[in-house]
């Protein structure tokens, strides 16, 4: 992989997949822009990065997606261009649909879907003007199938696939790429921060998440897919990958199996 001198903007860079991606890319003499809501944690990540890379910090809140066009202008001004937007921010869910307040549904869609597409759409004219660019989107295997207690989270990830698959076909002639990366279980704080039906954080590490890929290993595999400009890649265990193909080719059987699937 050679990302030397590439300008890469990473959202969700204060923790988890975003943080591990930033640390890995910083070893490659890149120019990084790190974003999330937590400035203190972003500063810590910056200090952990390899000094061979230039790093800027731009705080943002994807839920406030009307503010993103101005933030995009600020980001472009840092290095004069952006080569890759690495959409890694997001929030998960752990509650049955009947128990989930509609405001929680709205919040998940605002952050995972509307915030991500608003940021990407605001950057799109820049990519078109320079006749190059790449959108990387961390979605989920539940963007390909759905499980219990993740109704809104799964909906937001399905929505991302629909939007970016369509966008890919629209911007092909401008030499702009779209790479969708679908993680299975990765050992991050995603289950700790997942919203329950009331909007409170779950504050519990799921067993499956605890036993998932390390963020460091996941990030290396994901960056290989980015470098190869793949359209879509599944980075997950055997069970999660099997579920994708089972849903596609044997949907009735999958519907029976998913009712009893252990998803936490």
* Catalytic residue annotation: 153
Q: How many CB atoms lie within 10 A of CB 151?
A: 19
Provide the token pair at 222.
């994901």
- Listed in sequence order, the DSSP H helices in 14-150 are 16-26, 39-48, 68-79, 102-109, 116-130
Q: Residues 72-81: contacts with CB within 8 Å, 24+ apart? A: 72/119, 72/122, 72/123, 72/126, 75/9, 75/33, 75/35, 75/123, 76/123, 76/126, 78/7, 78/33, 79/7, 79/31, 79/33, 79/54, 81/7, 81/126, 81/130
Q: What are phi and psi of 226, to 5 degrees?
A: -65, -45
Nearest to 10 by CA among 63, 108, 83, 66: 83
Tokens of 31: 């120019």
Contact indicator for 183, 235 with CB cutoff of 8 Å: yes
The answer to whether 234 touches 244, Cβ cutoff 8 Å, is: yes
**How far is CA 123 from each of CA 18, 132, 236, rounded to the nearest angstrom?**
19, 12, 29
In degrees and rounded to multiples of 5, residue 243 shows phi and psi of -65, -35
Distance CA 137, CA 181 (A): 6
Q: Quote the CA–CA distance of 10 and 21 in Å, as a whole number.
A: 8
């Amino acid at each position: 992989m050679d990302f030397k001198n590439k300008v890469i903007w990473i959202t969700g860079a204060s923790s988890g997949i975003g943080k591990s991606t930033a640390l890995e890319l910083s070893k490659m003499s890149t120019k990084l822009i790190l974003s999330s809501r937590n400035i203190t944690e972003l500063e810590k990540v910056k200090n952990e990065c390899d000094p061979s890379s230039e790093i800027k910090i731009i705080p943002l809140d994807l839920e406030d997606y009307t503010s993103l066009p101005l933030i995009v202008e600020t980001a472009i001004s840092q290095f004069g261009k952006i080569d890759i937007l690495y959409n890694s921010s997001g929030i998960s869910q752990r509650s049955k649909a009947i128990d989930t307040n509609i405001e929680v549904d709205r919040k998940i869609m605002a952050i995972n879907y509307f915030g991500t597409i608003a940021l990407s759409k605001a950057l799109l004219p820049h990519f078109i003007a320079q006749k190059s660019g790449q959108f990387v989107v961390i979605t989920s295997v539940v963007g390909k199938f759905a499980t219990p207690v993740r109704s809104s989270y799964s909906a937001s990830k399905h929505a991302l696939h629909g939007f970016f698959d369509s966008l890919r076909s629209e911007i092909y002639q401008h030499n702009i790429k779209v790479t969708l990366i679908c993680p299975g279980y990765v050992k991050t704080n995603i289950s700790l921060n997942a919203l329950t039906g009331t909007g409170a954080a779950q504050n519990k590490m799921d067993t499956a998440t605890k036993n998932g890929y390390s963020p460091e290993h996941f990030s290396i595999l994901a960056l290989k897919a980015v470098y190869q400009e793949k359209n879509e890649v599944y980075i997950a265990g055997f069970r999660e990958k099997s579920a994708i193909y089972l849903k596609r080719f044997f949907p009735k059987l999958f519907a029976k199996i998913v009712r009893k699937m252990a998803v936490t």
